[in-house]
Chain A
Amino acid sequence: MITTKHLSKYYGDKLAVDDLTFSVAPGEVLGFLGANGAGKSTTMRMIAGFISPSQGEVSVCGHDIEHAPVAAKACMGYLPEGAPSYGEMTVSEFLDFVADVRGLSGELRRVRRGVVVDRLGLGPVIHQVIETLSKGFRRRVGLAQALIHDPQVLILDEPTDGLDPNQKHEVRRLINELSKDKLVIVSTHILEEVHEVCTRAIIIAEGRIVADESPTALEARSRYHHAVSLRFEKTDQHEAARREIASLPEVAEVESNARELRLTAVPKPGANTLAAVSAIIVKNNWDVPELHLESGRLDEVFRSLTQPPGIPVSDTAQGADA
């Protein structure tokens, strides 16, 4: 269980994190989203006990991080941004060091060490010096270090940053497996990740929480929620459909991509666009090889929540219209 109360952080006069209050329960995977510099890492560092909050408090597993830091740190595993480690050590020495500091000994230590080496595929590099490893392996060493004591709470700051797609997939699978009985906080700016691993997402902008709900609920905020997207074979049909669909009462707007012959019908709130659009396709007998109902676009929701007011959202959202 992690609870933060009125957590704030000033760097000089600059307010980096502004009055964050939230709590996370075991079994939850919380995605922490925000643009670069929004205060993600600062918040994670305060939870992990690396920096002290200017105001407010953090409690991890019932221990206040300022008053009982050792107990709080003992129950969590933390992967700092960039997965720093001691470059001159071998993977094996490094894991031994962390296991020693974490007080693991005997059979438990042997088993846990085996488990993390196995799960993160560190076997082939176990006797290699860390600074000679690739970025992907270093990140995995960082994850192994965070997992070695089988913590109840896991805090991962951009765990998939810099990994290739296969490695990303692997890490996400790992997080999903771990999340059954643990509490995981993952910061990321990769939005597809939120869908794959998180049960809840908090979006912060300029140090404040601007959204705190499930990824599905976030998508429902999108103007593309329940939008119908379709592709045509013929240019003339694409053109005709654009006009006809735009005139439907259920449709707020039609976005067109002439190069790929695609249309996206953005619904008016609460309208059943799918039924209306399919009816019109049947009526005109258009060739439509592709048709699907969108659940919403997280990137568009993210932009609308995190961009300072004044930059119209639709401008950037229609960037594909070319």
Chain B
Amino acid sequence: MNKVLVIFRRELRSYFATPLAYVFIVIFLVLAAVFTFQVGGFFERGQADLQPFFRWHPWLYLVLIPAISMRLWAEERNSGSIELLMTLPITLWEAVAGKFLAAWCFAGIALMLTFPIWITVNYLGSPDNGAIVAAYVGSLLMAGGFLSIGMCLSAATRNQVVAFITAALVGFVFLLAGFPLVLDFVRGILPQAIVDAIASLSFFTHFEAISRGVIDLRDLVYFGALIGFWLAATALVLDMKKAE
């Protein structure tokens, strides 16, 4: 059997072996509903789309995704099982990929469970379902981005709390990079090219584009490259720790 798949299955199952998975899913669904209906004004808008739902995803992920990613390596390091994992005949990449895919799949399951809202909007009106699918894809990609960041920071510590906080912090930086507030501020001191570069690093910029229903190759490349970069960083951190 493919070793990535073996690691993936063990990791995914371990989420559901503890209450963490269920607590996470419940909190995610409740918060998603609160933001959509209370804050986002889903009904008041009178429009058949899921904009009020997807608009809050970056903020939900900012707080909730680190809760999934924090344990990925920090727990292995703390319990010592990392020594077992790293002395099994697998490559570092197989371990990193298997764990990442399991965490991503778990985030995907949580996201999929928001399907009643899709049914609701279809019952109430006739939304552009293509755009909704695109937004779901964008949301999943963004979750992957947050996860890859969290995974790298989890590899750097044995303390899950530290892993959570640093992941949320770095995620925050990646979010804010696209905000007009930040961009206006840097525009005053830096040349336009750098301002554009900063804006293009932001989750917001790319997620907004996709969630409007336009899947642009550049946005896909952005998330692919981002995830690839942070996974490589994870492998690098693990390898450096190996030499310590």
Contact = CB atoms under 8 A, between A and B. Distances in A.
Chain A complexes with chain B? yes
B89 A70 contact: yes
A50 B83 contact: yes
Contacts, number: 69
A52 B17 contact: no
B84 A70 contact: no
A86 B14 contact: yes
A163 to B, nearest CB: 18
Given A80-B84, A80-B87, A101-B6, A89 B243 contact: no
Nearest to A48: B87
Scoring A78, A84, A145 by chain B CB atoms within 10 A of each residue's CB, the highest score goes to A84
A145 B17 contact: no
B14 A98 contact: no
Contacts of B79: 84, 86-87
Contact of B10 (A70, A73, A74, A97): A97
Given A88-B17, A97-B10, A100-B6, A145 B84 contact: yes
Interface in A54-73: 54, 69-71, 73
A36 interface: no
A97 B6 contact: yes
Contacts of A50: 83, 86-87, 242
B103 to A, nearest CB: 16
A224 to B, nearest CB: 39
A78 B84 CA distance: 8
Nearest to A97: B10
Chain B, interface residues (CB within 8 Å), range: 20 to 34
B119 interface: no
B73 to A, nearest CB: 14
A80 B83 contact: yes
B217 interface: no
B10 A84 contact: no
A172 interface: no
Contacts of B244: 11, 51
B18 to A, nearest CB: 6
A283 to B, nearest CB: 62
A39 interface: no
A65 to B, nearest CB: 10
A86 B17 CA distance: 11
B90 interface: yes
Chain A, interface residues (CB within 8 Å), range: 20 to 34
Interface in A83-111: 84-89, 93, 97-98, 100-103, 105
B81 A84 contact: yes
A73 B84 CA distance: 11
Contact of A102 (B14, B89, B91): B89
A49 interface: yes
A87 B18 CA distance: 11
B80 interface: yes
Given A70-B89, A97-B10, A101-B6, A86 B81 contact: yes
B193 interface: no
B83 A73 contact: no
A49 B85 CA distance: 11
Interface string A1-40: 0000000000100000000000000000000000000000
Nearest to A9: B243
A81 B18 CA distance: 26
Interface of A: 11, 45, 48-52, 54, 69-71, 73-74, 78, 80, 82, 84-89, 93, 97-98, 100-103, 105, 145
Interface of B: 1, 3, 6-7, 10, 13-14, 17-18, 79-81, 83-84, 86-91, 242-244
Given A52-B243, A78-B84, A103-B89, 18 more contacts: A45-B83, A49-B87, A50-B83, A73-B89, A80-B80, A80-B83, A82-B80, A84-B81, A88-B14, A89-B17, A97-B6, A100-B1, A101-B3, A101-B6, A101-B89, A101-B90, A102-B88, A105-B1
